[in-house]
Every structure is written in structure tokens, then in C-alpha cells.
Structure 1
Amino acid sequence: MRKLIFGMNLSVDGYIAAAGDELGWSAPSDELFQWWSDRVAGTGLALYGRKLWETMSADWPTADQRPGASPAEIEFARRWREMPKVVFSSTISTVDWNARLVTGDAVAEISRLKAEDGGPMDICGATLAGAAMRAGLIDEYVLVTHPVLVGGGTPFYTALDSWVNLNLLETRTFAGGMVLTRYETRR
């Protein structure tokens, strides 16, 4: 059975994007960028909602060809392209970059994928992760909290029907005051 992990950058007040989908506040340090890149390298399958898929697929497939791309950006772009991906959307009709599209019931498909053998799955995007949270499918939460209050936008957490108890697995502080906290779901 695969482990399902929800991890993202978020503000101290709990948002993954500020109003207007602004992400400028979440630019990672070199150390944090490398940490995220290493996570991608260890991911067996990434599950994307449409909105984050459109953001990532607009940049990372060719980011390694940009003039001045850093070695870390080149490495991340290669890792991202090679990583198998599933995109959940009812509004787009095609996906590229080692991805397949699912237009049906996301929770049923995520449950099916979790039951398979394989490496850990990352779930990417607030709406998709919210559905998985409400269904009790997320095994681990990885939060990288940035020292900023954005006052509104897209929340990391969704409204839940019941509490989810967690066990702390790891904490780490990165340059610039970003703090990693990693929790597993207590079942």
C-alpha cells in the first residue's frame, strides 16, 4: 500500500497562495529548493489538481533550457518531467509530461492508487488535497511555514467533518526562517 503525502509551502496564517494566487512570498532559499527537489526525486507518483498542474506545467517542463537556469533548477526540471503524474480535472482534455488525466471521481481513484504497490504519492493542490483530507486518505502532512502573514487566499487546510490527530515526525529550520514540520496521521 502506498503512502499519501500532502506537502506545500504555507504562510504562518495557513495559506498556500495569497489573494489573486500570489506566490511571491513563498520563494524558497537554495537550501529549501534543494530539499523540495530531493522530495520530488523520492516520489513514486504525484497527484495534481488542475490549478496547480497548470502552474507547474507552464514552467517546469522547459525550465532547464532558460538562460541562466541554476544547476538546482535544471535538476528539478529533469526530476519533475520524469516523475509519473496523475492530473485530476473535469475541465481540461489533455496533459503532457509523463502525466495521465483522470476526469472521474478523484477520491475513488486516489483510494485505488493507494492500494497499489509502489513508492509514496504526493498530492499537490488545495482542492484535490481537501477532498483526500475529508475522505481520510492522507497519511502524512509536510508543512513548510514561511515567516509571513498574507491575510487571505487559498488555505492549506479544508473544512473537516471530524478531527484528525497527528504525530510529529520531524522539524527543521531553513535559512530565511522557514520551518518544516512533518506529521503522520494517527490511525
Structure 2
Amino acid sequence: MRRLTFAMNVSVDGYVAAPGDDLGWGVPSDELFQFWSDRVGATGLALYGRRLWENMSSHWPTADQQPGATPAHIEFARRWRDVPKVVFSSTSSTVDWNARVFTGDAVAEITRLKAEDGEPLDIGGATLAGAAVRAGLVDEYTLVTAPTLVGSGKPFFPALDRWVNLDLVETRTFPGGVLLTRYETRR
């Protein structure tokens, strides 16, 4: 059975995006960028919600060809293109860059993918991940907390009907006061 991790940047007040899907507050240091690159490199299959997919696919497919691309950006772009991806969407019908679209029941498909043998799954996009959280499918939560309050926007966690007990398995600091916390779901 594959492990499913929900990992995203988050503000101290719990948002993954400010109003208008503004992500400008979450610019990573070189060390944090390398952390995200290594995560992508270790992912067997990335699961994306439509909005996150649109954000990522608007930049990373050709980021390594942009003037001034750093070695780290070149490496991330290559890793991002190489990892297989599933985009969960009811409105997008075509995707590229080693991805496929899934338009059916997201929870049923994530359950099916988890049951397969293989490398770890990463899920991104607060709406898609929220469905997996509510269904009890997430094995690990990785919060990369920026020392910023955005006030409102898209929350990291969905509203829940029941508690989810977690065990802290790692903390790590990054430049600029960014804090990584990793939790495993207590089963």
C-alpha cells in the first residue's frame, strides 16, 4: 500500500493561498526550494487539484529554459516533468507533461491508487486534499509554515466531522523563520 502525504506551504494563520489565490507570500529560500525539489524527486505519483495544476503547469514545464534559470530551478523543472501526475478536474480535459486527467469520484480514485504497490503519493491543492483528509486517506501532513499572516483565503485544513490524531515526526527550520512540521496520522 502506498503512503499519501499532503504537503504545502502554509501561513501561520493556516492558509495555503491568500485571497485571489495569491501565493506571493510563500517565496522559498534556496534551502527550502531544495527541500521541495527533493520531495518531488522522491514522489512516485503526484495528485493535483485543478487550480494548483494550473499554477504549476503555467511555469515549471519550461522553467529550465528561461533566462537566468538557476541549477536548482533546472533540477526542479526536470523532476517536476518526470514525476507522473494525476490532475483531478471536472473542467479540464487535457493536460500534458507526464499527467493525466481524472474526472470521476476523487476519493474512490485516491483510495484505488493508495491500494496499489508503488512509491509514495503526494497530494496538493487544498480542495482535493481536503476531500482526502475528510475520507481519512492522508497518512502524513507536511506543513511548511511561513512567518506570515494573510488574514483569509484558502485554508490548509478542511472542516472536519471528527478529530484526526497526529504524531509529530519531524521539525526543521529554514532561513527566514520558516518552520517545517511533519505529522503522521495515528492509526
What is the CA deviation profile of residues 27-62 of structure 1, one whole-angstrom value per residue up to 9, with x for unaligned ones? Answer: 000000001000000000000010000100010000
The residue that corresponds to 1:171 in the other structure is 171
The residue that corresponds to 2:38 in the other structure is 38
The residue that corresponds to 1:128 in the other structure is 128
The residue that corresponds to 2:55 in the other structure is 55
The residue that corresponds to 1:119 in the other structure is 119
What is the CA deviation profile of residues 84-125 of structure 1, one whole-angstrom value per residue up to 9, with x for unaligned ones? Answer: 000100101101000011000000000000000011100010
**Which stretches of structure 1, 4 residues or longer, exceed 2 Å deviation after superposition?**
none
Q: Distance in 2 between matches of 1:51 and 1:126?
A: 9
- Number of positions where the alignment pairs a residue of Structure 1 with one of Structure 2: 187
RMSD after superposition: 0.4
The residue that corresponds to 2:160 in the other structure is 160
The residue that corresponds to 1:186 in the other structure is 186
Q: Distance in 1 between matches of 2:175 and 2:101?
A: 37
In the TM superposition, what is the alpha-carbon distance from 1:155 to its structure 2 partner?
A: 0.4
User: Does the alignment pair 1:64 with 2:67?
Assistant: no
- 1:50 alignment partner AA: R
Q: Distance in 2 between matches of 1:20 and 1:102?
A: 25
TM-score by length of 2: 0.99
In the TM superposition, what is the alpha-carbon distance from 1:10 to its structure 2 partner?
A: 0.4
The residue that corresponds to 1:84 in the other structure is 84
Q: Distance in 1 between matches of 2:23 and 2:137?
A: 27
The residue that corresponds to 2:96 in the other structure is 96
Percent identical: 77
Could you list the runs of 5+ residues in structure 1 that have no partner in the other structure? none
Corresponding residue SS for 2:100: strand
Corresponding residue SS for 2:176: helix
Q: Distance in 2 between matches of 1:125 and 1:111?
A: 17
- 2:164 alignment partner AA: V
Q: Distance in 2 between matches of 1:156 and 1:100?
A: 25
Could you list the runs of 5+ residues in structure 2 that have no partner in the other structure? none
- 1:161 alignment partner AA: D
Corresponding residue SS for 1:184: strand
TM-score by length of 1: 0.99
- 1:159 alignment partner AA: A
What is the CA deviation profile of residues 124-175 of structure 1, one whole-angstrom value per residue up to 9, with x for unaligned ones? Answer: 1000000000000000000000001000001000001100000000000001
In the TM superposition, what is the alpha-carbon distance from 1:20 to its structure 2 partner?
A: 1.0
Corresponding residue SS for 1:61: coil
